[in-house]
Amino acid sequence: MINALTVDMEDWYHICGATDYADPSRWSLYEDRITKNTDKILGLLRRYNVKATFFVLGYIAFKEPDLIRCVEKEGHEIATHGFCHRRIFEMDEEEFEEDVGHSVSVISSITGKRVLGFRAPEWSIRKETFWALDILRKLGILYDSSMVPLTRMGSREFPVYPIKLDTLHGKLWEFPLSTVRCFWERLPFSGGLPLRLSPYFYVISSIMQLNRKGHPAIVYIHPWEFDTEKPAINLSMCRRSMHYLNIEATPHKVEGLLRHFRFAPVREVLGLVP
């Protein structure tokens, strides 16, 4: 079984809900740490000869086209994470189409390739924003990876394994966040804070559990999780945990997973390219 490895490629100040850092016109004032942190991830992937999907923020692609070319040249898939890192439920349909469309055109003009995949900032698709799927397909996107099948973030009715959905403009794959059943709820384990806090054996056994059932897992990381020296931002307790707690655990755990399992970009796991 081949699992999907993904990187949400954004810088340390791209934090949903942090109003002081939400204005894109001020982003150029902040220290650029994306290049050196992305280099750390590229080095790790090179050591294990693993290719991944990079969900690149359009703003980063616009600012650092050479970095995107470098990631692409190493054989990784370049997909989109939107342009301004806004959650779907904070936008109307027109704004969403403009945001994702802008990121798709910037990224494809750099790579010369079609952008096949999208992940929403903070996995922010909700039942009431399902119109986003029609817009994604209209923009030529073939898969989305933004659904969380949990009560508090997405919906327990969301799919728990990759599935093809119907939209107004054709079929669209959904590759939801990997979770495993725990009593009446499901638990995430494969990226961000859940990966950093879960015991390593638990992460391994959860991936094996999915794979035994015939389903790939999706692991996700961020460049800022490879940066213990990033500037401290004044955040609520919950957001501070998401962005700072135990981040030194990510590189070790990811390296262990690269040793234990086989990974590929999402486009290959879903069979969208040979």
Q: How far is the CB of 85 from Zn ion (least distance, A)?
A: 6
Residues 6+ apart with CB under 8 A from 254: 44, 219, 221
Residue 144 tokens, joined:
């989305």
Nearer to Zn ion by Cβ, of 1 and 16: the residue is 16
Nearer to Zn ion by Cβ, of 10 and 227: the residue is 10
Instruction: Give the N- to C-terminal CA distance of the chain in Å, as an integer.
Output: 16
Q: How far is the CB of 121 from Zn ion (least distance, A)?
A: 4
Could you say whether residue 154 binds Zn ion (CB under 5 A)? no
Residue 122 near residue 87 (C-beta atoms within 8 A): yes
Could you give the CA distance from residue 66 to residue 43 in angstroms, rounded to a whole number? 17
Nearer to Zn ion by Cβ, of 10 and 77: the residue is 10
Q: How far is the CB of 274 from Zn ion (least distance, A)?
A: 30
Nearer to Zn ion by Cβ, of 8 and 144: the residue is 8
Q: How far is CA 172 from the centre of its chain?
A: 17
Q: What are the DSSP calls for 253-264, one per residue?
A: HHHHHHHHSEEE
Size of the site for Zn ion (CB under 5 A): 3
Q: How far is the CB of 204 from Zn ion (least distance, A)?
A: 25
Contact range with Zn ion by CB under 5 A, out of 2-10, 22-30, 105-113, 213-221: 2-10
Residue 60 near residue 34 (C-beta atoms within 8 A): yes
Residue 24 tokens, joined:
């894109």
Q: What would you report as the CA-atom Rg of the chain, rounded to the nearest whole angstrom?
A: 17
- Token match 């904070």: residue? 90
Pick the binder of Zn ion from 3, 4, 5, 10 (CB under 5 A): 10
What is the sign, positive or negative, of the torsion defined by CA atoms of 199, 190, 30, 87? negative
Pick the binder of Zn ion from 4, 8, 21, 67 (CB under 5 A): 8
Contact range with Zn ion by CB under 5 A, out of 1-9, 23-31, 181-189, 243-251: 1-9
Q: How far is the CB of 211 from Zn ion (least distance, A)?
A: 26
Nearer to Zn ion by Cβ, of 22 and 208: the residue is 22
Residue 80 near residue 60 (C-beta atoms within 8 A): no
Q: How far is the CB of 47 from Zn ion (least distance, A)?
A: 25
> By CB under 5 A, what part of segment 89-128 binds Zn ion?
121
Residues 6+ apart with CB under 8 A from 94: none
Nearer to Zn ion by Cβ, of 118 and 173: the residue is 118
Nearer to Zn ion by Cβ, of 57 and 257: the residue is 57
Q: How far is the CB of 232 from Zn ion (least distance, A)?
A: 19
Residue 176 near residue 147 (C-beta atoms within 8 A): yes
Footprint on this chain of Zn ion (rule: CB under 5 A): 8, 10, 121
